[in-house]
A and B are shown apart, each in its own frame.
Chain A
Amino acid sequence: MTNHNWQFQTEQSLVENHGLKLDEFEKIVEGLGREPNLTELGIFSAMWNEHCSYKSSKFWLKKLPTSGERVVQGPGENAGVIDIDDGDVAVFKMESHNHPSFLEPYQGAATGVGGILRDVFTMGARPVANLNALRFGEPNHPKTKHLLSGVVSGIGGYGNCIGVPTVGGEVNFHASYNGNILVNAMTVGIAKKDKIFYSAAAGIGNPIVYVGSKTGRDGIHGATMASAEFDEDSEDKKPTVQVGDPFTEKLLLEACLELMKEEAIIAIQDMGAAGLTSSSIEMASKGEVGLEINLSKVPMRAQNMSAYELMLSESQERMLMVLDPSKEEMARDIFKKWDLEFEVIGKVTDTKRLILMMNGKEEASIPINILVEDAPEYQRDYIVEEPSPIKEYKSEDFDQNNILKDLNTMIMHPDLSSRKWIWEQYDHMVMADTVVRPGSDAAVVRVHGTNKGLAMSTDCSPVYCKHNPYEGGKHAVVETWRNIIASGAHPIAITDCMNFGNPEKPEIMGQFVECIRGMGDACSKLNYPVVSGNVSLYNETNGEGIYPTPAIGGVGLIKDLSNVKTLSLKEDGNFLCVVGKTANHLGISKYISIIQSKEEGGTPKINLDTELRNGNFVIDAINQKLIASAHDVGEGGILLAIAEMCMSGNLGITIEIETNFPHGYFFSEDQSRYLLEVSPNNYNECQKLANNYDVHFEKIGIVGGDKISIKNIGDQYISALKLSFETGIKEISQ
């Protein structure tokens, strides 16, 4: 790789080891008018890596709809903010911690949770819910057990201790994650609309204050590691993984929220990826000011730390603030009460430069704009590959006598089985506001002290995205929308976590571009904008990329908690009805993958007009109190959704619907469908409402008994299904 035209004093290998390309280094030299010193090189490396600079994705992310009547703050701040009435706002974001979690699952996942919690309380919100989106390799892959157990206990270890309930999430298993798991963590917080805190530094001469834990040598170059592919030697990168301390974070949370009640904070930014570097530069850039920092003042955990190490450490549980100087002593007392570090480490200047001093010597002097505005931005080449062809399946190819046996096999598979083994390790009830616990379509958390709630759901189908990135991108957005609607809430906005392979490969970039296009179309049609997000690229091991995984976290508002719906069947004699048409699309369904062990047949398409109509009908019917329970039809199809409703409610059903293609009817994954339990008294009213919305609405069975009975096919006890349902994930862990 030696470049014979290298004309700089700085060693070429040093530049490469910092993840910088030759032309990027040339750009640094041009901007500075000289070659950078080692500290400066480290700072550029941290700011210009993919994780911090979004250099490959920025151009495309700008295409997503980000505004709406309830959007208070869109992408660009620590988290997105939406209006939830009465002067309250919800603050939320999802973020990846993929590479660290693969190297060290417990700490990787734990610090992922810690980081996203800080993003939310930095803005003045008290975190009220954690969610996650997890992908592991095949269930029988030798690493899966260790990674699953480690990640789950890491998420629980952090969330349980800090006292924020982990209320929902999703997990699936696929060979494409064998060498690169995905751990995406989401936090939702609640604040007052007039008490939101931002990161723009202001007020020349104001003190820059460091609070939280001391800085150690952990996590140096974490963000650079996160922006590189994995190979056999990646285990050596374990020291770049940070170590979390949820107890200190709890103290930091309480101290920050206490200080935020006073008019003292001018700007605040958490130290996440690239630690002191990105937080200080972010604050200066947003505020269009300069900062002068005396690194000798930074509280240190180790002796003789260099400027380079201090700037690049990713030690956890730290914050940077600009304070009103008259409030400095009061602020110091609050942090002292909570036994946390509080140190004035510098001041806001008008130089528009980041100047670092240490022991009286200048260690760095960089114009902020070269670091931020002039950061490289790429419009990478991309190729959009043809989506996998749609396959027509015929009734004759299936034996209808196997339907219930197939159902049983499917619900034992880790992709569809009960997630109880996971969420029982998370405290999902602390704060005593969890109204709908994990296991339903969306989790619902009450806004403390009110009768309104937030419904939240995370979702994505990587297999759908792989075989048709455009439809897969639409699906990920729409699936959260449906889950939120089925819980009785109005969907408001989403956060996204874009996990992809190496963007320098045109076909990977093509997946990214198409997923964004699909997401954008769905968001626009459903008036469901993106308010925050994160991009994780280079998810590859030995040149093999993961499936495209744009994980979506959706948030909705329930104005009256008496309208909350769960998926549990409620009462004997009620009718079970399906909303939306079934067209026997079995392509790449869970049926085909689990029963036939194939991945073929094409991603189902979503008609967004139908989606919107069906969803609006369901929410209207719920608000009119016509519905007893509701569930969206997702992976596994109608029969799987019915089984979930039966198992959750401990009630059976007699399915009366006549169909000439039972496998197609029961297992197809046609989109925009819901199941609704309706009492006989409300049935006509509901049918009328469906007609008004021009929505397909059909009664398919009657609730009751202790079995799923399908006319002309057979029956199966709910108790037996429940035993199968509990096995899948639990077995991996044993």
Chain B
Amino acid sequence: MKSHVIVFPGSNCDRDVAVAIKNISGHQPQMVWHKETSINQSDLVVVPGGFSYGDYLRCGAMASTSPIMQDVAKKAKEGVPVLGICNGFQILIESGLLDGALMRNSSLSFICRDILIKAINQNSVFTKNTNVAKMPIAHNEGNFFVTSEQLKKIQDNDQIAFQYCDENGNVSEDSNPNGSLENIAGILNENKNVLGMMPHPERAAEMAHGCEDGKTIFESVLN
């Protein structure tokens, strides 16, 4: 079981996700500085949350051109599971590994709170153990958007990983925290081995966090 966490200047959830992976899998992930050019054999590559390059220019835009991202793209193509959380999701979109765009929250302010998500595709390597789960979001730009053609494509191809929902699993406007199209909280690539999600499963990964729902995503991909 080998996993890797990419560290960009400005990443700030790199340690948190490494701790969650260590606690859940028993294996310490390897931290990879963004200036490196290749990752060894890996069973999971995580692009963590934070403010890579201070969100300057556009969230994730500068990090997507970091040297390591070429190898991340190559690994993704080879079928290695790649998980982007929050800023990591933004980076994967900017890298072209996932469809769509993440715009400013509809409230125009940063939002940090617990939300509920529902796994729509329950067959992927990440989502096979998840149904409705509670975990925090913490972002300024999580308002997911795709063109109607792209939306149809990701719907038809079962690429919607998570939608924001209420306690009963209903996907409604009231349960949409940031204005995302179709309440989309996370999407997969065509091959379902790349997942980008705004919520932070690593912040709901042990009882001290008040909730352990995020564990299932790591358990699913690490076992």
Chain A residues with a Cβ under 8 A of chain B:
153, 156-157, 160-163, 245-248, 250-251, 338-339, 423-433, 435, 446, 561
Contacts and interface: CB of A to CB of B under 8 A. Distances in A.
Contacts of A246: 51, 54
B53 A247 contact: yes
Contacts of A156: 110
A246 B113 CA distance: 22
A432 B215 CA distance: 14
B54 A425 contact: no
Contacts of A429: 112, 136, 138, 200, 203, 209
B198 to A, nearest CB: 13
A426 B16 contact: no
A133 B54 CA distance: 26
B110 A153 contact: yes
B160 to A, nearest CB: 26
11 contacts: A160-B51, A247-B9, A339-B9, A423-B112, A424-B110, A426-B112, A428-B112, A429-B136, A431-B16, A432-B16, A432-B20
Interface of B: 9-10, 12-13, 15-16, 19-20, 49-51, 53-56, 109-113, 136, 138, 140, 200, 202-203, 205, 208-209
Given A430-B138, A431-B15, A432-B209, A338 B9 contact: yes
A163 B54 contact: no
Contact of B110 (A163, A338, A425, A435): A425
A161 B10 contact: yes
B109 A427 contact: no
Q: Find the residue from A246, A423, A432 having the highest chain B CB count within 10 A.
A: A432
A91 to B, nearest CB: 19
Contacts of B19: 432
A339 B16 CA distance: 24
A430 B109 contact: no
Contacts of B110: 153, 156-157, 160, 424-427
Q: Closest 9 CB pairs between A and B?
A: A163-B12, A247-B54, A432-B16, A161-B51, A427-B138, A425-B110, A427-B112, A429-B203, A156-B110
| Main SS at interface, chain B | mixed
A250 B51 CA distance: 10
A430 B12 contact: yes
B51 A247 contact: yes
A424 B203 contact: no
Nearest to B52: A247
Contacts of B200: 429
Contact of A245 (B49, B54, B111, B209): B54
Contacts of B202: 432
B35 to A, nearest CB: 8
Contacts of A162: 12
Q: Find the residue from A162, A429, A561 having the highest chain B CB count within 10 A.
A: A429
A337 B110 CA distance: 30
A561 B205 CA distance: 17
Given A163-B12, A163-B51, A446-B208, 14 more contacts: A160-B51, A161-B51, A246-B51, A247-B10, A247-B51, A247-B55, A250-B10, A250-B54, A425-B109, A429-B200, A430-B138, A431-B16, A432-B19, A432-B20
Nearest to A432: B16
B112 A424 contact: yes
B138 A160 contact: yes
A595 to B, nearest CB: 32
A121 to B, nearest CB: 14
A431 B136 CA distance: 13
Nearest to A449: B19
Nearest to B15: A431
Given A429-B203, A430-B13, A432-B209, A161 B55 contact: yes
B67 to A, nearest CB: 14
A338 to B, nearest CB: 7
Contact of B9 (A250, A430, A435): A250
B10 to A, nearest CB: 5
Nearest to A430: B12
Contacts of B112: 160, 423-429
A727 B9 CA distance: 39
A250 B112 CA distance: 20
B85 to A, nearest CB: 12
Nearest to B50: A163
